[in-house]
Structure 1
Amino acid sequence: MSDDVNPYQQPEADVVKETPAAGALTLGGPNKVSVGEAVGWIGDGMKMLSGHWGVVIGALLVTFVITMVLQFIPFIGPLAQPFLMVLLYGGMVKMFHRIDTSNQSEFADLFAGFSERTGPLVLLALAQLGVYVVFGLLIAGMALMFAGAGAFSASQGMDPAMMNGGLSAGLLLLVPVFLVLTVLVAFLFYFTVPLVMLTDLGPGKAMALSFKACLRNLLPMIVYGIVAVVIVFVSALPFLLGWLFVMPIMAGAYYLSFKQVLTEQA
């Protein structure tokens, strides 16, 4: 009979689509933003700090003090600094994510990187260190190449005026190369800390996605970077006191740039 129940049939259950937890980030994009939206991150970063200035300023001051103390520890300090900074930056990202999703701020979040995603963050710091070493060696090698070419020309009895002109031209060529490589390296790591801290991406995928996101928004990122540098420079003039106001804003703007460029927008 068609109404008979098959005792061997697997029980049927309604499949419920799993929804992300409240406040969870969902990666998307990379999304393309306009220059106006990029510059707007600064103003939005300031709005984000309402009611949380004390906690964020305190966290940034502790980070600054740790950085200064490391400078006075021979050998170990410079080696430890890249790793500690990545872990602390991961904590700052976690702090802003909490502010964004719950309007709550916890000073303890500054140290979240020492207990959450610690392994991937340490690997990210190693990757940064390796890339910076290669970058430094590349620039030093190019400078030595130009210097060696000048020395060879001198040994061949070339006119000193012509030799100096060629050396100057070579060094002038090195400047734009240095700037372009600096921007590319910055793009490689710009979004990596929030990608590693707030998602399950490893350092390699985070670096690739960061680079792709920055290239997709090349002009907005460059304009935003120039505006940010000018603001930070001007705020440093009155004995660095302006940084107490500006650096929390820039930290909020950084979090918002990651959120708008690399997560799904509601």
Structure 2
Amino acid sequence: MEQDNNSSQTEPQEVFTPIPQARGASGGVRWLGLGWDLIKERFWMWIGVIIIYFIVSLIISTILGFIPLIGPIISPFITTVLAAGVVAIAHQQYETQRIDVDTLFFGFYNKRYLSLMGAYGISFLILLAGIIIAILVSSAAMMDIIYAINSDYPDEIIADMMVDNASGFTLFFVIIAIFGALSTAAYWFVPALVLVNGYKAFPAVKASLAAVKINLSGGFFFFILLFFILAISLIPFGLGLLITIPLSYTAMYGSYRDIFYHHNIGSQGNNGGIGGNSTISLNKTAESNIGKLVS
């Protein structure tokens, strides 16, 4: 990626790096902050984008729902490509300060949908493997409870059996939680890496896992904070979701931008931003090598 040699010494120069960088626990807060900066600059546009996204997703799911067996399986893969388009819009706004709604379909018309679907499939298989392992490990406890219920055992006996087998149920949910986290980690950075940087499915998943591995504390705080924000947004009849849902996408893009870009100050070649101490500016970004997306 070329740098602008005429940039002022105070202008951040952002350069994509395939090697993810550790940003520490404070990264989680910073990613949400960047996501909110994007939302507030184009507030009504983002609400419009998320409404269009849900309408199109609903139409796709409804149409495919009429296809027996295959339709419900294909539907999540199609809507995954559409969801990746929301991340592409965040990138477009970051680079150009504008939003084009048709960028929502960028994953379809740039022929990168196969990589997105492949990576989503890998993520799904990780979760499926966790479910199978959890069932196998906890099958004895579950079978005892199911047999007792089907045999019309008294409620007191069933309750005692559930207490006696509590460790088995706990192990079941722990395994599901671990593999669910791995599944999320495998796909976290995939949409941006595929649509912005042209990654294929396996390299994107590998890079995503590597980025999460060295940013566990930041990712933990990020999801804890995002969970509370989403919970609070449900209080006023769920209307807050019109803000917090796009925020979840823009904040995820913010994490990608922070972890996969060097932030060098001016033309001095200062690499201090690698340590995570620099601040990303929305209005002063270096030229991107992804001209097809922002043009």
Displacement of 1:77 after TM fit? Answer: 4.6
Q: Is the 8 A contact 2:23 2:215 kept in 1?
A: yes
Name the counterpart of 1:216. 214
Matched residues in 2 for 1:148 and 1:123: separation? 35
Name the counterpart of 1:26. 16
Secondary structure (helix, strand or coil) at the match of 1:265 reads: strand
Displacement of 1:151 after TM fit? Answer: 8.8
Among 89, 92, 98, the residue aligned to 1:98: 92
Alignment of 1:96-245 (within 5 A): 96-116=90-110, 117-148=112-143, 165-245=163-243
1:42 corresponds to 2:32: yes
Stretch deviating more after TM superposition (48-57 or 238-247) = 48-57
Name the counterpart of 1:257. 255
Q: Is the 8 A contact 1:35 1:219 kept in 2?
A: yes
Matched residues in 1 for 2:162 and 2:98: separation? 61
The percent of aligned pairs where both chains have the same amino acid is 20
Segments of structure 2 that go 5 or more residues without pairing to the other structure are 5-12, 148-156, 265-295
Q: Is the 8 A contact 1:70 1:78 kept in 2?
A: no
Name the counterpart of 2:74. 80
Secondary structure (helix, strand or coil) at the match of 2:237 reads: coil
Relative to structure 1, the CA distance from residue 208 to residue 149 in structure 2 (aligned partners, 3 Å threshold; closer, same or farther) is farther
TM-score, with structure 2 as normaliser = 0.72
Displacement of 1:125 after TM fit? Answer: 3.1
Write out per-residue CA displacement over residues 183-242 of structure 1, whole angstroms, 9 at most, x where no aligned residue. Answer: 122111111111111112211111111111111111111111011011111101222100
Matched residues in 2 for 1:113 and 1:245: separation? 23
Matched residues in 1 for 2:29 and 2:53: separation? 26
Secondary structure (helix, strand or coil) at the match of 2:182 reads: helix
Q: Is the 8 A contact 1:28 1:264 kept in 2?
A: no
Matched residues in 2 for 1:230 and 1:34: separation? 20
Secondary structure (helix, strand or coil) at the match of 2:142 reads: helix
Name the counterpart of 2:45. 55
Higher relative contact order (CA 8 A, sep 6+): 2
Secondary structure (helix, strand or coil) at the match of 2:165 reads: helix
Stretch deviating more after TM superposition (223-232 or 134-143) = 134-143
The structure that has the greater radius of gyration is: 1
Secondary structure (helix, strand or coil) at the match of 2:90 reads: helix
Displacement of 1:162 after TM fit? Answer: 8.4
Name the counterpart of 1:9. none
* Letter of the 1:189 counterpart: Y
Q: Is the 8 A contact 2:131 2:176 kept in 1?
A: no
Matched residues in 2 for 1:50 and 1:175: separation? 38
Q: Cα RMSD (Å) of the superposition?
A: 2.8
Q: Is the 8 A contact 1:55 1:106 kept in 2?
A: no
Segments of structure 1 that go 5 or more residues without pairing to the other structure are 1-17, 153-159
Displacement of 1:144 after TM fit? Answer: 2.1
Q: Is the 8 A contact 2:186 2:209 kept in 1?
A: yes
Q: Is the 8 A contact 1:82 1:125 kept in 2?
A: no
